[in-house]
Amino acid sequence: MKRIVFRGAGVAIVTPFDENGINFDELGRLIDYQIENSTDAIIITGTTGESATMTDDEHKAAIKFAVEHVNKRVPVVAGAGSNDTNYAIQLSQYAEKVGADALLLVTPYYNKSTQNGLVAHYKKIADNVDLPIILYNVPSRTGVNIKPETYQKLSEHPRIVAVKEANGDLSSIVRTKKLCGDELEIYSGNDDQIVPILSLGGKGVISVLSNVAPRDTHLICQLYFEGKVEAAAKLQIDYSDLIDALFCEVNPIPVKAALKLLGWNVGNLRMPLSEIEPKNFEKVRAALIAHGLLS
């Protein structure tokens, strides 16, 4: 069995922006809030962190800041994926150099890849770093889906240890577990599937919900690990309305609106993302109120 990066709920943390770029003061406050409220890992520069519109310098600075600010309190997972294999290697090597605990590598997007290309892409990155790698499968964004048989080939590499699975296909996850066993751990990439994926042997979630409800997202996992499956399922179901609200528009549009409502200075979204529509803003606000997060 390979080393597990973390168990429980890791937050796919937003990136606060201001007129000068990244608002590091607010990012530090967000990180502290997450750790104080039981988040099990910080995932920096992922989709929710708007890494796609960061400059190279910003991307690296965000990773370095997160590592230094977290200061080993919880694992830091650095989003370092790219549709350019060589750039993904460079960014991954930088993350390793500054002390990240693991890498999150999204499937190549736009130019896409065959399944054989995915194997070659990921193995080449893994051959050039010494950090554990979490694959990120999100076909709704990338146009590429990693098949269970491809996971089996990738799991043969000692540094490819897990996947953030956001394909929404539980049957595919069952087949992946059958083929890979303990050689590839699974994290839910969808907040509405935490308990279902835990029931299939998953190790937790990389979560958007954790941005606004870190303690309870952690608790869903903790209750399940303690054998309190019905309580975990109840909490999962109770939060379904807030989860739906946080995905009523493209992530991270709703979660940034939610954080602003909660008093966080997360700044504007970067284009081409636009501000949340009024009807969806009200949906987010109502869900926050319903869960006692906003008065």
- Cβ atoms 60, 93 nearer than 8 A: no
Looking up residue 140, the CATH number of its domain turns out to be 3.20.20.70
Mean pLDDT of 256-281: 98
- How far apart CA 246 and CA 237 sit, in angstroms, is 15
Q: Which of 153, 164, 203, 256 is catalytic?
A: 164
How confident is the model over 157-211, as pLDDT tens digits?
999 999 999 999 999 999 999 999 999 999 999 999 999 999 999 999 999 999 9
In a domain, 274, yes or no: no
Active site residue 178: no
pLDDT in tens, 80-100: 999 999 999 999 999 999 999
| Average pLDDT of the chain to the nearest whole number | 97
- Residue from 130, 97, 147 nearest 3 by CA: 130
Instruction: Compute the distance between CA of residue 6 and CA of residue 77 in angstroms, rounded to an integer.
Output: 10
Average pLDDT of the segment spanning 141-169:
97
Helix (H, G, I), strand (E, B) or coil at 9: strand
pLDDT, tens digit (0-9, with 9 covering 90-100), for 183-192: 999 999 999 9
Residue 43 lies in a domain: yes
State yes or no: pLDDT of 1 exceeds 90: no
265 domain-assigned:
no
pLDDT tens per residue across span 5-35: 999 999 999 999 999 999 999 999 999 999 9
pLDDT digits (tens, 9 = 90+) for 51-74: 999 999 999 999 999 999 999 999
pLDDT band of 152, cuts 50, 70, 90:
very high
Decide if 9 contacts 204 (C-beta within 8 A): yes
Q: What's the domain range around 90?
A: 8-229
Q: Is the pTM of this model over 0.75?
A: yes
Residue 240, domain member (yes or no): no
Dump pLDDT digits (tens) for 241-265: 999 999 999 999 999 999 999 999 9
Q: How confident is the model at residue 2 (pLDDT cuts 50, 70, 90)?
A: confident
249 within some domain = no
Rounded Cα gap, residues 188 and 165, in angstroms: 5
User: Kind and range of the H or E element at 29?
Assistant: helix 24-36
Q: Is the preceding omega at residue 196 within 30 degrees of 0, hence cis?
A: no
Domain for residue 85, yes or no?
yes
* pLDDT for position 3: 86
The answer to whether 224 is a known catalytic residue is no
Residue 1 lies in a domain: no
The answer to whether residue 176 sits within a structural domain is: yes
The contacts of residue 179 (CB under 8 Å, 6+ apart) are 148, 149, 151, 152
Q: 136, 151, 187, 239: which one is catalytic?
A: 136
Number of domains in the chain: 1
